[in-house]
């Protein structure tokens, strides 16, 4: 790759960051998200996972927050703080990977449906419509139950049930891009389908994909928490599993508010952070919204 190309990319990134910094809500969301990501990454370095073993728990049953247990304990005497830290790794991993899978499927289907004509595009859109009308949460619950409980299963279940809305969005953008004159000139010069889709369409829809991905991660984290609460968990500690445990052991009736509040606030904070980042990126990358403060 030439130095000119790298210089252009660095210049584009610098302009993007300069405009993104003007979006105060987006900066706040990025800071919140960075805090959670850093905590998730350093958790294995600063904590001992053996503390999540019920046979090695040292706290009292559902003890309130104290100096020894800053966020209290659960029904087995395990530290809620420790479980939230380790659960953040699972919840964020599932959120990122399932959103990535959803965006890849949605982008491929959307570009193909917008580029091709005839029966191929019609078939792709009928499949997309079928996924749209089906309740995604119920379908994900069924898939996770059939495939078995694991992190990869939950990622797969969420990813393949949440791509349809992205596909329709990308298709609409693809149709708008392919109506531009330079696409006709490219075809007249002998450009094939792959060249048009990869060199012309994809770069133009990439900003939309990037902005939509951040919003999709937020939806994926909520979906993972919901699935875990309904019993379709990954078998590892997650924020949704903590909420499920608080429900099973009657934390609300027992007055153990910390058992419910701590994981709930974590989910709300991360979802809000991704939403703020996504809206800020949309305002920066969309010329019609550029300059709108959020």
- pLDDT per residue over 108-159, tens digit each? 999 999 888 888 888 999 999 888 888 877 888 888 877 777 788 888 888 8
CA distance 18 to 12: 10
CA distance 114 to 98: 24
The CA dihedral of 6, 8, 11, 17, to the nearest 10 degrees, is: -80
pLDDT at 110: 92
Q: Is the pLDDT of residue 288 over 70?
A: no
pLDDT mean over 183-200? 82
User: Which of 167-181, 234-248, 276-290 tops mean pLDDT?
Assistant: 167-181
Q: Is the pLDDT of residue 294 over 50?
A: no
Closest CA to 242 of 220, 265, 259: 259
Q: Which range, of 139-148, 244-253, 265-274, averages the lowest pLDDT?
A: 139-148
Q: Is the pLDDT of residue 293 over 50?
A: no
CB burial string 245-280: b at 16+ within 10 A, e below? bbeebebeeeebebbbebbeebbeebbbbbbbbbbb
pLDDT at 215: 82
pLDDT at 3: 67
CB burial string 97-129: b at 16+ within 10 A, e below? bbbbbbbebbbbbbbbbbbeeeeeeeebbeebe
Q: Which range, of 39-53, 191-205, 261-275, averages the lowest pLDDT?
A: 191-205
CA distance 74 to 139: 31
Mean pLDDT of the chain: 84
Rounded percentage of the chain residues whose pLDDT exceeds 90: 19
CA distance 190 to 199: 14
pLDDT at 140: 83
Give the pLDDT band (50/70/90) at residue 222: confident
More confident residue, 293 or 9: 9
Give the pLDDT band (50/70/90) at residue 34: very high
């Amino acid at each position: 790759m030439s130095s000119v190309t790298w210089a252009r990319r660095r210049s584009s990134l610098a302009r993007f960051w300069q405009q993104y910094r003007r979006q105060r809500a987006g900066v706040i969301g990025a800071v919140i998200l960075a805090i959670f990501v850093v905590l998730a990454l350093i958790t294995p370095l600063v904590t001992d996972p053996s503390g999540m073993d019920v046979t090695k728990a040292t706290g009292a049953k559902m003890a309130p927050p104290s100096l020894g247990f800053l966020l209290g304990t659960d029904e087995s005497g395990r530290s809620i703080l420790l479980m939230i830290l380790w659960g953040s790794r699972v919840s964020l991993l599932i959120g990122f990977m399932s959103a990535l899978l959803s965006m890849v499927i949605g982008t491929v289907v959307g570009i193909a449906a917008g580029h091709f004509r005839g029966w191929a595009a019609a078939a792709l859109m009928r499949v997309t419509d079928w996924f749209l009308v089906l309740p995604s949460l119920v379908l994900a619950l069924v898939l996770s139950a059939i495939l078995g409980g694991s992190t990869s299963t939950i990622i797969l279940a969420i990813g393949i049930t949440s791509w349809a809305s992205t596909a329709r969005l990308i298709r609409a953008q693809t149709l708008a891009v392919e109506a531009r004159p330079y696409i006709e000139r490219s075809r007249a010069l002998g450009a094939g389908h792959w060249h048009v889709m990869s060199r012309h369409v994809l770069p133009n829809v990439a900003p939309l994909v990037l902005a939509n991905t951040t919003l999709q991660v937020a939806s994926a984290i909520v979906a993972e928490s919901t699935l875990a609460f309904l019993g379709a968990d990954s078998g590892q500690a997650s924020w949704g599993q903590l909420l499920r445990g608080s429900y099973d052991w009657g934390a609300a009736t027992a007055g153990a508010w910390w058992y419910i509040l701590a994981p709930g606030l974590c989910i709300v904070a991360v979802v809000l952070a991704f939403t703020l980042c996504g809206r800020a990126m949309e305002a920066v990358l969309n010329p019609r919204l550029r300059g709108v403060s959020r």
